[in-house]
Each structure stands twice: as structure tokens, then as C-alpha cells.
Structure 1
Amino acid sequence: MSAAATVLRALHTSPRPLNASEVARASGLHRGTAYNILRTLQAESLVSFDGTTRTYAVSLNILELAHGALRRSGMLDIARPLIQAVADAHRVSVYLSKVLGPLAMLLLDWVGGLRPDPHVAVGRPHPSPAGASGVILTAFGESCETELETRFYQVKWYQQPSFAEFLARVKEARIDGFAVDRGNMYRDATLVSVPVLSSTWELLLILTAAGHPRDLDGDAVAALSHSLQSAAARLSDNLPLLRLG
């Protein structure tokens, strides 16, 4: 079971379909083992096979499992209405991410029409620390500054701020309770992020809104950040009802 999960993760994180040898290398398995697992997953319609290129990819049928997991987690019933309300009220896209570690996030859900990153997809990890969400992750999470700086320079920014400027934004976010990125991470996109904290102030989730700069001036950002913080507070209150594991 663990080997099959490793194979699925290797296919999921790859930007392109992989052949059996590539899957074996990515998952650290013997080629024969990887091939047998791929054939089993293909038979269960969880993996698709292209006979022309002889490559494998995660099948869309896996969305059936993902939808069930989202439904049981409470995301569709509790979180989705909250982020949809913010998206509709401010004409932005809203992203909900789960914090996996000091410098790791996973996209759980998103609503709206703006996708600053064309490769963004539910279930994919975020580049971090990056953008407004990276500021929040650093401000309210637990990261080592040395590792933070190393990872900071590995992120592909549109216009990278200096590390000192990034740390200044982190300090401001701890005071203000939200962070703003104006075109540093993505071209022609303003990002606003807020933390979702547990009752013990542990950072569990991050809400991020993305909009066009022309629509998000100072007053608009203030109103949007307030709406995001209200939604985050509602999520914090409902954390006992969410299954985030």
C-alpha cells in the first residue's frame, strides 16, 4: 500500500507523464516493482497509460476519491461557502491552503476566475516561502531563518524583493494579521493572505485572495483583508468539525 502511494505521489508531482523507469527512479522503487504497481493502478482506473509514449499519469478518476475526502473533511460544507462569499463580494479568487510544515503548504480548494499561476491545482504543494501566503507562513509558523533564506532564493518570483524586505513584511504581518503582495510573486496580481489559527495559536490553514491590481487599491485591500479575517475566524471556530489529517 505504501509503495502504491509513493508511485501515485511521484506521478502527481511530476509536470508531465512518466514512463515506468522514471516512476521507479522518482519513487525509489525497483523498476519491476514500480511497473507492477502501475499496472494494478491502471486496472483500477487510478492511473492512465498512453500506449504511444508508453507513459503513465494520474487518471481523472482519482477525483472521485478526492471529492469524497473533501466532503468528509468538511471542506465542501464549511470552508467552501466562506471562501465563495469572499470571492463573490470582492470579485477575487480565494485559495485555501493547508500548512504541512515550517515551509510547506498544500492547496486544498480554490474558487474564482483568476489564476495568477496557470499551474495551480488542488493537491499541489505551493512554492514557499513565496507571495503573501509565504509571509503569513513565516510570520505565524515556526521556521529557521537560515533555511528560510535558502528557500527564499529558490522561489521563482516575478519581481523578487530583497530578503530584508521580505522579513519586514513578516514583521508587519504579525502586527496587522494579514499580508499583501503587489506584483512580486506574479505579474499583474495582488495577493492578500491571512492565517487560520487553532485555539492554541497554531497555524493550520492560510486563506489567500488574488485580484487584479487595478481593482485592489488601498481601500479595497483593507476591505478584502477584513473579509478574509472574518472568514478565517469562522474557520477557526469550526476547526473541530474539519478533518485536516
Structure 2
Amino acid sequence: MTRALAILRLLARAPEPVGVNQIARGLELVPSTCLHILRILQDEGLVDFDTTTKRYTIGIGILPLARAAMQRNSFSSLVQPRLSALSQEFGVTSIATQLSEPGQMVVVALSQSSMPFRLQVDLGSRFPALISATGRLFAAYNSLDTATLQAEFAKLKWDHPPRFDDWCGQVDQAREQGFAIDKGVYISGVTVVAVPIFGSNRKMKRSLVAIGISERLSDTKITKIAAALQQMRDDVEETQI
């Protein structure tokens, strides 16, 4: 079961179809064992196999499972109307993310802005837990040691990569102010504002995020968005008690 899940996660992250040997190497599996698991997953419709290229991709059979999980996620249902209100008020794309596996955040709810040239984000999208504004919060509140942070930071892809020392300073700032801002560092011309939501262990496991075109977001507006996200977080936490 663990190996099958690892294969599915690898295929979900892969930008293109992957061969069995590459999968086996990436997960340190015996190729024959990897092939056996892939065939079972293929029979269940969870992976697709291209007979021409001999490569595998994540299958559409995963969609009913993902849809059912989203529908049963009480947090998603609770936060969705609040995200919609925020998008309409500030003209931003609003999302909620949740830690789904080590090192990955997944979008579990979203609301697109009604303005033209809005940013496209998909439900179920995954991204590294340490990237952008959400990543600064994750680093601030999840007690990762410096060596681990530096190793994971080196894997991140930014439009304008920050220096690690500068990024650590931004992590400290996010911890102090309770929210984080990424102004065009992750994606050129895009500003991301995020606030953390904590689990029972007081570690961050979710976030509320607003994403907008930087030219349209003044410092005053960004401050108002951060305050609105914090209020949304407080309302959600109070409702869940």
C-alpha cells in the first residue's frame, strides 16, 4: 500500500509521462516489483499506460476519489463562501491550502476574481510547502532545523530566487507579524498574501491566500487584505470549535 501511494504521488508530481525504470529508481524499488504495482494501479484506472512510449501517467480514475475527498472536507465547505466574498471585495484570486503530504500543499478551495486578466489556479493544485508567502509561514511555524530548511530551499523554483539568508529574515518577519507577503519573487508581477491556520499541535497545516496582480495592489490594499484573511481565519477557527 505504501509503495503504491508513493508511485501515485510521484506520477502526480511528474510534469510528463514516466517510464517504469525511472519510477523504480526514484522510489528505490525493484523494477519488477514496481511494474507489478503499476499494473494493478492501471487495472484500477488510477494510472494510464501509453503502449507507444511505454510510459505511465496519473489516471483519470483518481478524479472520483479526489472529488469525494473535497466534498467531504468540512474545512473547504466552511471557507468557500468566505473566499468568494474576499475575491469580490478586493479583486483577487483567493485560495485555501492544506498540507497533504510531506513537503506539499494542495489547494482545497478557491474563488477566482471576476476581473479581467485574473490568475488561473486549479482546485487540487499542489506546490512545495516552502514556496512563496505560504512557504515563509510554513518555515516560521513548523520548527524545521536550518540544515533541513536550506536543503529544501535549494530545490525551490522562483522567478526571482531570493538569497537564503534574506529569505530567513522574511520568515522571521512573517512569524512576528502573523502573515506573509511575496511581491513578485515567486511569480513576476504577482503579489501573494497568506495567513496560517494551525492544527492542534500549534503547527501550521493550512493557509488562506490571496493572489493578485502587483500593479493593482497598493501597500494599503495589501494590509487590508492581510487583515481580512486574519479575520477569516479567526471566524473559521471559532466556527470549528
TM-score (structure 1 length as normaliser): 0.83
Partner residue, 1:114 = 119
The Cα shift of 1:122 comes to 2.0
**Alpha-carbon distance, 1:239 to partner:** 4.6
Aligned length: 235
In 1, Cα distance between equivalents of 2:126 and 2:164: 25
- From the superposition, tell whether residues 32 and 168 of structure 1 become closer, same or farther in structure 2 (CA, over 3 Å): closer
**SS state at 1:220 partner:** helix
**Does 2:175 correspond to 1:174?**
yes
Shift of 1:198: 4.1
CA distance in 1, matches of 2:6, 2:154: 28
1:1-245 equivalences in 2 (<5 Å): 1-99=1-99, 104-109=103-108, 110-112=110-112, 113-115=118-120, 122=124, 124-126=126-128, 128=130, 130-198=131-199, 201-239=202-240
Instruction: Tell me the CA shift for residue 190 of structure 1.
Output: 0.6
Q: Partners of 2:29 and 2:200 in 1: how far apart?
A: 41
Contact (CA 8 Å) 1:198, 1:239: kept in 2 or not? no
Checking the alignment, whether the CA contact within 8 Å between 1:97 and 1:205 is kept in structure 2 is yes
CA contact (8 A) 2:93 2:111 kept: yes
Q: Deviations over 1:98-122 (max 9, x none)?
A: 2468x8341132332414xx8x772
- The answer to whether the 8 Å contact 2:44/2:61 transfers is no
| Aligned mates of 2:98, 2:168 — CA distance in 1 | 22
Quote the residue 2:115 is aligned against: none
* Residue 149 of structure 1, CA deviation: 3.2
Q: Distance in 1 between matches of 2:129 and 2:203?
A: 21
In the alignment, the residues of structure 2 paired with residue 36 and residue 198 of structure 1 have an alpha-carbon distance, to the nearest angstrom, of 38
1:100 & 1:45 partners in 2: Cα distance? 22
1:175 Cα deviation (Å)? 2.8
Structure 1 residues 115-141: Cα deviation after superposition (integer angstroms, max 9, x where no partner):
4xx8x772534152x321122112222
The structural deviation recorded for 1:209 is: 1.4
Q: Determine the C-alpha separation between the residues in 1 that align with 2:136 and 2:177.
A: 12
- Quote the Cα distance in structure 2 between the aligned partners of 1:23 and 1:6: 10
Counterparts of 2:157 and 2:233, CA distance in 1: 28
Distance 2:202 2:6 in 1: 32
How big is the shift at 1:236? 2.3
Instruction: State which drifts further: 215-224 or 79-88.
Output: 79-88
SS at match of 2:128: coil
Unaligned runs of 5+ in 2: 113-117
Q: Deviations for 1:42-90, whole angstroms, at most 9, x for unmatched residues?
A: 2222111212212111112211101111222214421322323222322
Indicate if the aligned counterparts of 1:196 and 1:206 stay in contact, CA closer than 8 A. Answer: yes
Q: Which consecutive residues of structure 1, in runs of 5 or more, have no partner in the other structure?
A: 241-245
Question: 1:14, 1:26 → 2: CA distance?
Answer: 11
The answer to whether the 8 A contact 1:197-1:236 is kept is: no
| Separation of aligned partners in 2, 1:16 and 1:100 | 22
Quick one: higher RCO (CA 8 Å, sep 6+), 1 or 2? 1
1:152-210 Cα deviation digits (max 9, x unpaired):
34322222333343233223322322111111111110111111124664322122211
Question: Could you state the TM-score of these two structures normalised by the residue count of structure 2?
Answer: 0.84
Task: Return the alpha-carbon distance in structure 1 between the equivalents of residues 54 and 11 of structure 2.
Answer: 14
Distance 1:200 1:5, change over 3 A: closer
